[in-house]
Structure 1
Amino acid sequence: MKVVIRVNDIILIAKHYFKGLSKENGLTTSKVRAFSSKLYKTIEDKSIDNIFNICEQLLDEHKWELGVIAYDWAYRVRNQYNTDTFFVFESWLKKYVTGWGDCDDFCTHAFGELLSQNNELFKYVIIWTNHPSFFVRRAAAVILIYPIKKDKYHGINPYLISDMLMKDEHHLVLKGYGWMLKVLSQVEQDKVYEYLLKNKNIMPRVAFRYALEKVDEETRRRLMTS
C-alpha cells in the first residue's frame, strides 16, 4: 500500500532525513536525488501547481539538499510546463539561486527543458546577460546546454549570448559560456571553429580553453597557433 504524506509534513521529513548530513561529510547530489525520488512517490497530487508550491517551500529553507529536491521535482512535471512556467522559474533563479552549483543544476535540467519546449522564451533569456548577479548571467549561457544537447534550439542564437558575455568580469560567467560553446562544438563544429577563430584575440583565455575541450587535436592546434 502506498503511504501518502501530507504536504505540510514533507519539509519536516526531508529535514529530518538530512539531519547531520552535508556535502562535507559525504552527502552527494546522487544520494539526495535517490531520496528525492522516493519522497516524490508519496505525493498524491502531482499537478504542476501543487508541486511548484512544495518546491517553493523547499527553496524557502535555503538549504542545498532541499534545493536539489525542488529542482528535481520541477523537472518531473515537465509534461505540464506552459509559458507561465518561465516566469515562475525566473523568479526562483533570481530569488533562490546563490551560486554556480544551484545555477547549473536548475538550468541544465528543469529550466533548460522548458526552453527546449519553447524556443521563443529565448528573448527573455537574452536580458539576463545584463543582470547584476553573476549566476543569472551565467544562467543565460548554461540554460542553452540542454536544448543544444537535445537538438531543440532552433530559433535560438547561442553566439548572441557569448557575444554579450564575451568580456564579463566574473570568471564563472566566462566558464559558463565557454562550457556552452564546448557543447555546441559537438553539433556545430565548423561554426564554432569560425567563431573561435574570429574572436580568439578578444575572448578571455578561460572561456577559450573551455570552448576547446571537445575539439579534436588538429583543430585545437590550428586555433591555438593561427
Structure 2
Amino acid sequence: MSLLTEQIIASLTDNAISGKAEYFPRFFKSGQGEYGEGDKFLGVIVPEQRKVAKAVYKEITLDEIEELLHDTYHEVRLTALFILVYRYQKLKSDHDRRQLVDFYLKNLDYVNNWDLVDSSCHQILGHYYLEKEKTLFYTLADSGHLWRQRTAMISSYYWIKRGSYDDALRLAEKLIDHPHDLIHKAVGWMLREIGNKDFEVELEFLRKHYSTMPRTALRYAIEKFEPSLRRLFLNGSL
C-alpha cells in the first residue's frame, strides 16, 4: 500500500462516527443472506468522503485508486469511486476517458452495493457511451448479477437527462420482471426520470406494463403523478 493510500484511509478513519458504523451495516443490508453480506463500515459520512476525494484526485495514480477499490471497507471503496468520477470529469480526450472506462469495468466486482453503483456508473459509463453503441449494457442486464444489472439500468440516467430514452426503455423492459427490489427501484426511478423529461413517453410505457410490473417499480415510477392518476394506476383501473 502506498503512502498516499495509507493517508487517505487514515483520514477516513479519523472522521469515522461510531454511531454510523453501527447503523450502516443495517442500512446497507450487510448481514448474513442479505445483498451486502460481509461488507464492513468505518462510519464515515459521504460529505467527508467527497472532501477527501477532492483533495487527492489530481495526484493519485490508477494503481492507488485500485488499492482503495479493493479495500474491505465500504467507505474506502466509495471514496475511490468519487476520486475516479472527479478524475473522469476533468478529462478532455476520448482516449483518456476510455482508459478510465476500461479501469472501471475491470474493477466492476468492487462496485458492489447500490450507492457505489449509483454514485459512479452514470457519470462514467453513461457519459462515455452516450453516443456510442450500447451492447455493453444489455450484456450487463443479462448477466444475472445484481450489481451489474443495476449498473446497466442506472447508467441510462445520463442518457435520460439528455433526452435519449430508447435504450433506457429497452433496459427497463428487459429488467422489469427481475426478482430483486433493488432492480425494481432502479427501473422505477429511471422511468420517473423519463417522465420528468417527457411525460407521454413514460405514460406510454406504463400503460403497456403497469398491470404486471412489480409494485415497487410502479410506485417509484408514478411517485410524481397527480394523485388521481396515481390512484388509477395503483388500483389497476386505468
TM-score normalised per structure 2:
0.77
Q: Does the aligned pair in 1 maintain the 2:54–2:86 contact within 8 Å?
A: no
**2:103 corresponds to which letter in structure 1?**
V
Q: 1:113 Cα shift?
A: 2.8
Q: Cα 1:63–1:219, aligned 2, differ >3 Å: closer, same or farther? A: same
| Cα separation, 2, equivalents of 1:91 and 1:152 | 29
Task: After TM superposition, give the deviation of residue 9 of structure 1 in Å.
Answer: 1.2
Unaligned runs of 5+ in 2: 23-42
Could you list the runs of 4 or more consecutive aligned residues of structure 1 that deviate by over 4 angstroms after TM superposition? Answer: none
The equivalent of 1:148 in structure 2 is 160
> Could you tell me which of 7, 21, 27 is aligned with 1:24?
21
Residue among 59, 62, 76 paired with 2:86: 76
CA distance in 1, matches of 2:167, 2:213: 18
Alignment partner, residue 215 of structure 1: 225
- Residue type of the partner of 1:178? G
Matched, 1:55 2:65: yes
- Match of 1:24, as an amino acid? A
> Which residue, 127, 130, 143 being the options, matches 1:113?
127
Structure 2 CA distance, aligned partners of 1:115 and 1:153? 12
Report deviation, 1:152.
6.0
2:97, 2:10 → 1: CA distance?
34
Q: How does 1:1-226 map to 2 (within 5 A)?
A: 8-19=2-13, 21=16, 23-24=20-21, 27-40=44-57, 43=59, 51-78=61-88, 79-80=91-92, 81-93=96-108, 95-116=109-130, 119-149=131-161, 151=162, 153=164, 156-224=166-234, 225-226=237-238
How far off is 1:195 after superposition?
0.7
**RMSD after superposition:** 2.3
- Which amino acid letter does the alignment assign opposite residue 186 of structure 2? G
SS at match of 1:131: coil
Provide the TM-score with structure 1 as the length reference. Answer: 0.81
CA contact (8 A) 1:185 1:215 kept: no
Percent sequence identity is 21
Matched residue type, 1:109: Q
Q: Give 1:162 shift.
A: 0.9
Deviation for aligned residue 1:103: 1.4
Q: How many residues align?
A: 208
